[in-house]
A and B are shown apart, each in its own frame.
Chain A
Amino acid sequence: NAGVMQNPRHLVRRRGQEARLRCSPMKGHSHVYWYRQLPEEGLKFMVYLQKENIIDESGMPKERFSAEFPKEGPSILRIQQVVRGDSAAYFCASSPPGRAETQYFGPGTRLLVL
Chain B
Amino acid sequence: DAKTTQPTSMDCAEGRAANLPCNHSTISGNEYVYWYRQIHSQGPQYIIHGLKNNETNEMASLIITEDRKSSTLILPHATLRDTAVYYCIVRVDSGAGSYQLTFGKGTKLSVIP
Q: Which residues of A contact B (CB under 8 A)?
A: 4, 31, 33, 35, 42-45, 48, 55-56, 58-59, 91, 93, 98-108
Contact = CB atoms under 8 A, between A and B. Distances in A.
Interface in B13-66: 32, 34, 38, 41-46, 49
B95 A108 contact: no
Contact of B49 (A43, A101, A104): A101
B1 to A, nearest CB: 11
Nearest to B32: A101
7 nearest A-B pairs in the assembled complex, by CB-CB distance: A105-B43, A100-B94, A45-B100, A42-B103, A43-B103, A100-B99, A48-B99
A101 B1 CA distance: 12
Contacts of B43: 4, 91, 93, 105-108
B93 A107 contact: no
Contacts of B106: 42
Given A59-B100, A99-B94, A101-B91, A108 B34 contact: no
Contacts of A4: 43
Nearest to A105: B43
A76 to B, nearest CB: 18
Contact of A98 (B45, B95, B104): B95
Interface centre among A4, A98, A101 (most CB of B within 10 A): A101
A54 B103 CA distance: 22
18 contacts: A4-B43, A31-B99, A33-B99, A35-B103, A42-B104, A42-B105, A43-B38, A43-B101, A44-B103, A45-B100, A45-B101, A91-B44, A100-B99, A101-B34, A101-B101, A103-B101, A106-B43, A107-B42
B46 A98 contact: no
A31 B87 CA distance: 22
A56 B42 contact: no
A18 to B, nearest CB: 24
A108 B49 contact: no
B100 A101 contact: no
B12 to A, nearest CB: 22
Interface in B86-113: 87, 91, 93-95, 98-106
Contacts of B101: 33, 35, 43, 45, 101, 103
